Amino acid sequence: MLKRAILIAGVVMAGGVMASAGPSWAQTKIAIGTPPIAEVEAAFVAKDEGMFEKNGLNVEFLPTGSNQTLVASLVAGSHQIVAVSPTVLLQAVDSGIDLVVVANCGVSAPRTARNVGLAVRGGVEISKPEDLIGKKVGTPSIGGTLDILFRQWLKQKNVDEKGITFIEVPIPNTADVLKGGTIDAVIAGEPSLGRAVGQSNGKVAFNYMSEIPADLPYTTFVATRDWAKENADTIKSFRAAFAQAADYVAANQDKTRAIVSKYTRLPVEVLNKIELPECKTVPTQAALDYFDKAMREGGMLTGKIDTAGLIAP
């Protein structure tokens, strides 16, 4: 189903794009799809501080939609690199779409663990993991990164996820749905987490990311394998720009917040209240193996995936 939907979307998006995208254009000018989230801060910094340009790349950010739409844009050829969750990457590969990882950015880390948590509305008592049995829990995307990591945390706590009703709640609706009482708790990241707690007179029951392994990517920057093979030098330049951007992020937190605010439209005042994501740009097989195992245990993957082969040379 995923592959068919992506291929259909790709055909629609391809009109008028493929004809103008010759090999020489792709080597110097690339279109990137990035969602407006802080976890892709390296892309924003590399663009704003001229690091892409210094490495010989003319990068254009194109409008984005869902993760599936971004994958479709790769199939169509309208984008050359897109940022999607590692879970969507693996699902796409499992469905037969040949993608490779070019780079990462935001990864899990102890320093940023409080940026993600389980918000519980007022009047609902959840003080220990076992209290979640029988509850309705909202999740930004069933099978998404935060969802998978939360389910892994439940396993660590010996809580059977089958005893919990998971309901998909779009991020913009997080606070309203929790306040309205449709759900008892919701998995969320900042700033949605804080808003949900405030509007529902609730609390953060668990910052579960503090017990999840470090260096797991929230997003992966991916390309089609064919494009990656034909544009090895472009990928090398892209990775160099990302590495420079990661160094900049580490040394210039305030300036990075201003840049992230520009591209995400989140007020700097909001960004000042949270930790910027830890930015590690080099993809690892270990991280892909973690998600592959977790999704396979949940019945979300069926075929065998060569995770080492998913990282572009």
Of 274, 280, 279, residue with least CA distance to 115:
274
Q: How far apart are CA 271 and CA 137, in angstroms?
A: 26
Q: What is the DSSP string of 129-162?
A: GGGGTT-EEEESSTTSHHHHHHHHHHHHTT--GG
Q: How far apart are CA 109 and CA 214, in angstroms?
A: 5
Residue 229 CB partners (closer than 8 Å, separation 6+): none
pLDDT at site 12: 39
Render pLDDT for 225-274 as a digit per residue (tens, 0 to 9). Answer: 999 999 999 999 999 999 999 999 999 999 999 999 999 999 999 999 99
Distance of CA 118 to the CA centre of its chain: 18
Supply angle C-alpha 79, 84, 85, rounded to 5: 170
Q: What is the DSSP letter of 173?
A: G
Name 226's bridge partners.
none
pLDDT at site 297: 92
Q: How far apart are CA 2 and CA 5, in angstroms?
A: 5
Of 135, 106, 131, residue with least CA distance to 43:
106
Q: How far apart are CA 263 and CA 243, in angstroms?
A: 19
pTM: 0.87
Q: Token pair 């929230």 is at which residue?
A: 218
Q: What is the DSSP string of 9-72?
A: HHHHHHTTTGGG--HHHHHHEEEEE--SSGGGHHHHHHHHTTHHHHTT-EEEEE----HHHHHH
Check the CA dihedral 119-144-134-156 and report its sign: negative
pLDDT at site 145: 95
Structure tokens at 58: 């003319």
CB atoms within 10 A of CB 225: 16
Cα separations (Å) of 109 from 139, 205, 215, 216, 219?
Answer: 21, 19, 6, 8, 14
Structure tokens at 288: 């892909």
pLDDT at site 28: 73
pLDDT at site 63: 72
Render pLDDT for 189-200 as a digit per residue (tens, 0 to 9). Answer: 999 999 999 999
Q: Which residues of the chain have pLDDT under 50?
A: 1, 3-27
Structural domains of the chain, ranges and CATH numbers in brackets: 2-109+215-310 (3.40.190.10), 110-211 (3.40.190.10)
pLDDT at site 62: 87
Q: How far apart are CA 11 and CA 57, in angstroms?
A: 27
pLDDT at site 66: 76
Q: How far apart are CA 196 and CA 171, in angstroms?
A: 10
Strands 185-189 and 116-120, by their bridges, are antiparallel
Is residue 172 reached through a cis peptide bond, with omega within 30 degrees of 0 on the bond before it?
no
pLDDT at site 13: 41
